[in-house]
Structure 1
């Protein structure tokens, strides 16, 4: 295994004995090594702005100066305010359920229909070695994808056509699997029909911090209208955004059976890792962070990724291709799972859902694009944000100011393009 050994003297162990005990158990299960037969190197597993509801460590198991095992350990924040404001316990419970129950179900169902998951199925999911769900010592232990050549995409860069298409294909397989299980064995996934949306849960709490945050982001989006001379366009956007953002979100994720499925729910570039070929073109992806899975139209995952992560220039050239590739792969995989795509999600319903739920992409773009167009030093510390909300129930302009004078122009161009496409595509 060729990989640079990390050495961070500041981190000498995981922050609780339970975490260390679980780590040692995984090492023994995987390598059959006793505690005195190896050493462990710890380092930070993510950068500022990469993870909002967890603390990530990289753990390398070394024997004879060679890395034998490399893990990513995701732990909850200690800060009580952050745990409360970001529903940390629920997020860990939900992600653990994905790895302990749902993805094994997906694999078994695909294998039942003759699909080799590792080569031709839904393989775009990282290996999870262990989950801990007892509050407040939750934890998730993952395979370190960097060992296998995967890298995080720089969120300040622009996604390319290839980056989007490879995720469209992965989402198509994930959605097709759920559609087909729901069709053939609905009792296995019926519990997800009642799953509650994370963002709405945060917004509906009394004096909700998320609601305050969303309204600040919405106002920032409205401010870009000063660059448009199209009065009709400006009035239309102002009318759509005259209501609270979570009200628009509610419309965008309303359930329309029998076409609702369990979606990834948080499909933005921070939750995707890519492996590139020698020319830098992505050839594989992995879908991470299944913490806020959402029971809604599959359209919501597409809108989330495309409108939060692409520019208008790219959408002008390839938007229809993104949709077509997704739908073709979805239909084909449903057929391979011995269900009927014309029954489960016909093209007419797909197009109808784009018009009905496309506005979900606007909501998520309003929330996320400020982060995409900000440098790491401009992103506030989540502990500080949560503490301020808890103390004052309102965040000051400074603590939630993602964009700076250096990046505001990039933000305004990106957001204006999103607003224009929402109108052009008939989503608002």
Structure 2
């Protein structure tokens, strides 16, 4: 494979407006062809050409990055992000003279909440990084001992998540709420969790930059460091962003969203999830007033609420109906499954007819107190990063993307993951094992804080939640699986889709329009953005029929939520 890279990098001192173009070129396409299709660059445009074999693109550039087979244009880093970046570099390295380049992390349609970029920072050669450890007077505002022995020529990476600007997309995708929620998780919930881990760990706050000032202590707590560090953020309308640690530099990679996970991936993911949930129970036990204050700020679910649009409801129901039809016409079912076929169809019919109402009840943590917890809310492949050993076996996992954090039954995250990211064969063999791994990790974490799991979250309660709330995994599969199995090139343009959804919503609010006309418009829109095609339909069928069969197998169809 040939590689042709022009290493033109933005200097931090350049004050002119600039556009960074990262053009990912397929190995069978010429540089000239790509450039001819690109928008004409301004005089301050930096262009980088990367020639890759698209079959192995993720491993060539960065296994954690999703690479499109099409030209990707990245707009300039916003001014407030640039200010945060300057503050971060100056805080870490005692210099504000650096260069940087960017690379897109997510492909088309893969992140509803904006652009995700990897920023690669180069410290300029003529600057000397100050080492405060050698100074007689300690300057804590510049010392970060968890990044040690940095040399001026070394590189530093971070990740920035930048909100979309299209107003229809911001409204439809609840962008403001999601950025506020994720920022709150980092700055409030994680802060309290770190306080729980040790009274000796201190955090310093400098322009919204959170700094660990005790490297040795942090190393001892690595088992509970389940997410990247937040360096800076803003919830300013239209300019929201989060500047985060790049976990890829520590060896954490994203798993291909289109593939079902292996046993090792599942065990690592659900153990980290169990730690995350356990810390919520610990906070409730150790500091109930603070816990209540936090829960009151996330009690309103930002996905399933009365504000859920009709087109969003119908999207989920569309693929629920498709899954049922596939089950009805499946002729190769095991005899045990055939006995449950009518029960599955009748139960899902109740869910279909009352979809929005049941989903709202499923996510209501207040209804199951004191056995509700602060949950991730969007727990699937793309929001988990894995670290591998030399034999390519996953050995560690981290959680990312907390914009949908909620207060609910902790098993919602578990069944969401198991029914959207694992295959039926794996569940058939290890479902009980997965439950044991999750619960044992949660119980052990509670015991580490001198809390009896039998009092806080008994195994019996956990099992009951699995049976009662298991159908939530199927609900999320109806939304998620069509996206998961699609190629990036097949995903809709989110700005265009959002504008169509807003137009439909505005026309549907017209009192003069009958319900039948509204339904016809909704159906037409969903057909326009059909997710399934000749390649993905058989995959969808295999995965969704497998989930339906497992709902019966694990007694989840007896849930009181399905009693009409």
Q: TM-score, normalised by structure 1?
A: 0.92
Map of 1:92-241 to 2, 5 A cutoff? Answer: 92-112=179-199, 118-120=219-221, 121-194=223-296, 195-201=299-305, 204-205=306-307, 207-229=309-331, 230=338, 231-233=341-343, 235-241=345-351
Secondary structure at 1:200 match in 2: coil
Which whole-Å CA distance do the structure 1 matches of 2:236 and 2:83 have between them? 15
Determine which structure has the larger helix proportion and give its number. 1
Give the deviation of 1:343 after TM superposition. Answer: 0.7
Give the deviation of 1:212 after TM superposition. Answer: 3.1
Q: Which residue of 2 aligns with 1:43?
A: 103
Which whole-Å CA distance do the structure 2 matches of 1:240 and 1:317 have between them? 29
Q: Which residue of 2 aligns with 1:52?
A: 112
| Per-residue CA distance 1:336-394 (angstroms, 9 max, x = gap) | 11212111001111111111111111111111111122111111121121111012233
1:275 aligns with 2:387: yes
Q: Which residue of 1 aligns with 2:538?
A: 409
Aligned residues: 421
Contiguous gaps of at least 5 residues in structure 1: none
Kindly indicate whether the alpha-carbon contact (under 8 Å) linking 1:73 and 1:139 is maintained by their aligned counterparts in 2: yes
The structure with higher relative contact order (CA 8 Å, sep 6+) is 1
Which whole-Å CA distance do the structure 1 matches of 2:385 and 2:476 have between them? 20
1:73 aligns with 2:160: yes
Return closer, same or farther for 1:206/1:296 CA change in 2, 3 Å cut-off: closer
Which whole-Å CA distance do the structure 1 matches of 2:124 and 2:324 have between them? 59
Secondary structure at 1:47 match in 2: coil
1:425 aligns with 2:554: yes
Return closer, same or farther for 1:119/1:413 CA change in 2, 3 Å cut-off: farther
Give the deviation of 1:116 after TM superposition. Answer: 5.9
Return closer, same or farther for 1:113/1:305 CA change in 2, 3 Å cut-off: farther
Q: Which residue of 2 aligns with 1:400?
A: 529
Q: Which residue of 2 aligns with 1:378?
A: 490
Secondary structure at 1:215 match in 2: helix
Kindly indicate whether the alpha-carbon contact (under 8 Å) linking 1:228 and 1:234 is maintained by their aligned counterparts in 2: no
Q: TM-score, normalised by structure 2?
A: 0.71
Equivalent of 1:27 in 74, 78, 89: 89
1:61 aligns with 2:128: no
Secondary structure at 1:40 match in 2: strand
Which whole-Å CA distance do the structure 1 matches of 2:163 and 2:270 have between them? 30
Give the deviation of 1:52 after TM superposition. Answer: 1.6
Which whole-Å CA distance do the structure 2 matches of 1:50 and 1:95 have between them? 18
Which whole-Å CA distance do the structure 2 matches of 1:87 and 1:63 have between them? 37
Which whole-Å CA distance do the structure 2 matches of 1:57 and 1:313 have between them? 36
1:298 aligns with 2:410: yes
Contiguous gaps of at least 5 residues in structure 2: 10-21, 23-45, 48-72, 126-152, 202-215, 332-337, 506-521, 558-564
Give the deviation of 1:131 after TM superposition. Answer: 1.2
Between 76-85 and 230-239, the greater mean CA deviation after superposition: 230-239
Return closer, same or farther for 1:119/1:284 CA change in 2, 3 Å cut-off: farther
